[in-house]
Amino acid sequence: MPHSESPAESDDSPIPMIDVDQQQQEDAVAESTTADVPEPQEPADEDVDMVDSNATTHTHATTQALEAESRAVSQAEAQDHQETPVSEAATSAPSESKPATGVKLEELFDEMDSDEDDEFPTTKAAKREPASSPDLLSSQSDMEIDLHEASDPEVMRTFYQRLFPWRYLFQWLNHSPTPTNDFGHREFAFTLQNDAYLRYQSFATSDLLRKDVLRLMPSRFEIGPVYTANPRDRKTLRNSSAFRPLSKELCFDIDLTDYDDIRTCCAKASICQKCWQFITMAIKVVDTALREDFGFKHIMWVYSGRRGAHAWVCDKKARALDDQKRRAIAGYLEVIRGGAQSGKKVNLRRPLHPHLVRSLDILKQHFQADVLEAQDPWRTEDQQEKLLALLPSDQKQLVSALRNKWASSPDRPSTLKWADIDTVAKTSTAKNFDTKSLLDAKQDIVLEYTYPRLDIEVSKKLNHLLKSPFVVHPGTGRVCVPIDVKRNLEGFDPLGVPTVQSLIREIDEWKKPEIKNGEDEKHTADWEKTSLKGYIEFFRSFVLALMKDEREVKVKREREEEGGGGGEGMEF
């Protein structure tokens, strides 16, 4: 299936891009805290192509030693948190710890979750943080909390200090419990409150990333690729061509504004449960193709916070794809072509590719219930003309008969108009009536009204940035939570996703469970007291499965290398 070439990168950007060192960052932050902050603009869900990046280099130790070191670091952090206020800890260097041995990955997670730490502090620990928002929680009523916008610095500070899953984000991008270049050479980009855009940020650890986010308080941050060198050191390299993107997750972006010409319930930034079904259909089709046709396993879908969804394909073989292969996969999945004002958007050769046959099988049930019944897309005269224009151009008699029939029933619903096509076709007296071309046209119509409408540019380039999971959408206040496609895709309600304001209120309303005789008091992280709990637990399980596979592949490769270096291996 053909695919269009990606346009050349431009130095122009709708967002002011700043190539910053430490002093320039401080200037940008000073401006963001002193200038008048404009009305929050609705950010585009498309993400910005990259231009630069940064982090520190780390050597790879053995898997067992790395996991053991992470365990010791986790224990040290928990102890430090109990003794050191956040204001002091924010300026202290990460503590060194001696590695232990014999730690399993599952035990490592259990140990992390059981300790109080900086990432997921309890309410008790948070009360010792002078810059945090226990004051906000205790001194304001529910109504006052709701009046705070999601972009309010104190609201966001509370969220990033007490609810954001920093450790799991780190392990997801790092593919290991302890720091490697997969995280250290990764680019992050910050959009500040004054709309300044900081590119090529990088961090050795999750704690350094967290501290910089709390210092800068960006309205959101985006994730880019892993580079061949530390992005912060890019200008010190003698050979500029040595700095290039090395790997990044294969990403897909679906936005409901691309469905405005077919959805009748909402338009632009507005969404409802009816039109969200277009996203549900798209996720089903794309997820199935990525798993069955390309063999990808670790695919995470994330709600964009307002009107769309992002896919992160995290398999190692997906992360290593170059731009040419990414364009090929994007072209394979692209069927809808042309803008809102174009005519027929689906023009397929026959016989259909097996992927399209399977997609039609997935989508046909949605077409009846979620398009014909819920959207009623051809009820008006203008709308029905769009349908007639999609029928075969040589079926003029059929088109004329349908137009006359519908003119006599102006309020005829779309379900009946769709059925009328076959009914009228059966009574056609035209010579050599081509039933095959009519069937093909109807299949194309089903695909045009149900098939995924991808922002294909997001998928084509290795160096494209995409909004991080679990950030807060500044326009809606909703958290960009992962979607459990296997267990709850149909039940996912974007309007039911927690807002940052509701999460703060949930922490305040949480009541400590009664402790039974003989039981030890269990520390409860703040995210466990809120409706964010299920989403973070799902993210944690996704990260654990990804890390487990990465470790098994590494161990297998090491064993093969050892066996290859010593001649033929012993057979048992």
**Across 454-571, where does the E strand assignment appear?**
466-467, 482-483
Q: Taking Cα atoms as reference points, which of 30, 31, 32, 28 lies closest to residue 17?
A: 28
Q: What are 62's two structure tokens?
A: 């053995």
Q: What are 409's two structure tokens?
A: 């029933």
What separation, in Å, do the N-terminal and C-terminal C-alpha atoms of the chain show?
49
Contacts of 348 (CB under 8 A, 6+ apart): 335, 356, 440, 443, 444, 447
The residue annotated as part of the active site, out of 118, 187, 222, 315, is 187
255 is catalytic: yes
Q: Which helix (H) or strand (E) holds 550?
A: helix 533-565
Q: CA quadruple 414, 415, 416, 417: dihedral positive or negative? A: positive
Cβ–Cβ under 8 Å, residues 540 and 172: no
Taking the mean position of all CA atoms in its chain, how far away is CA 530? Answer: 21
What CA–CA distances, in Å, run from 374 to 23, 266, 370, 481?
55, 12, 5, 26
Q: 73: buried, middle or exposed (CB in 10 Å: 19+, 13-18, 0-12)?
A: buried
Q: 513: buried, middle or exposed (CB in 10 Å: 19+, 13-18, 0-12)?
A: exposed
Q: What is the rounded radius of gyration, in angstroms, for the C-alpha atoms of the chain?
A: 27
Cβ–Cβ under 8 Å, residues 43 and 475: yes
For the chain, what's the residue count? 572
Q: CA quadruple 94, 98, 99, 103: dihedral positive or negative? A: negative
Distance, in Å, from the CA atom of 68 to the CA atom of 180, rounded to the nearest integer, reads 15
**Residue 495 has what DSSP assignment?**
G
Q: What are 384's two structure tokens?
A: 């029905």
Cβ–Cβ under 8 Å, residues 226 and 234: no
The residue annotated as part of the active site, out of 255, 444, 455, 506, is 255
Alpha helices in 8-104 (DSSP H): 22-34, 63-83, 86-89
Q: What are 5's two structure tokens?
A: 């070439």
11 is catalytic: no
Distance, in Å, from the CA atom of 149 to the CA atom of 145, rounded to the nearest integer, reads 9
Q: DSSP labels for 228-259?
A: SS-GGGGGG-S-GGG--EEE--EEEEEEGGGG
Taking the mean position of all CA atoms in its chain, how far away is CA 430? Answer: 52
Cβ–Cβ under 8 Å, residues 121 and 161: yes
Contacts of 66 (CB under 8 A, 6+ apart): 60, 176, 177, 178, 180
Cβ–Cβ under 8 Å, residues 277 and 374: yes
Amino acid symbol at 453:
R
The residue annotated as part of the active site, out of 253, 315, 334, 484, is 253
Contacts of 45 (CB under 8 A, 6+ apart): 253, 255, 304, 306, 307, 308, 455, 467
Amino acid symbol at 188:
F
253 is catalytic: yes
Instruction: List residues with catalytic annotation.
Output: 187, 253, 255
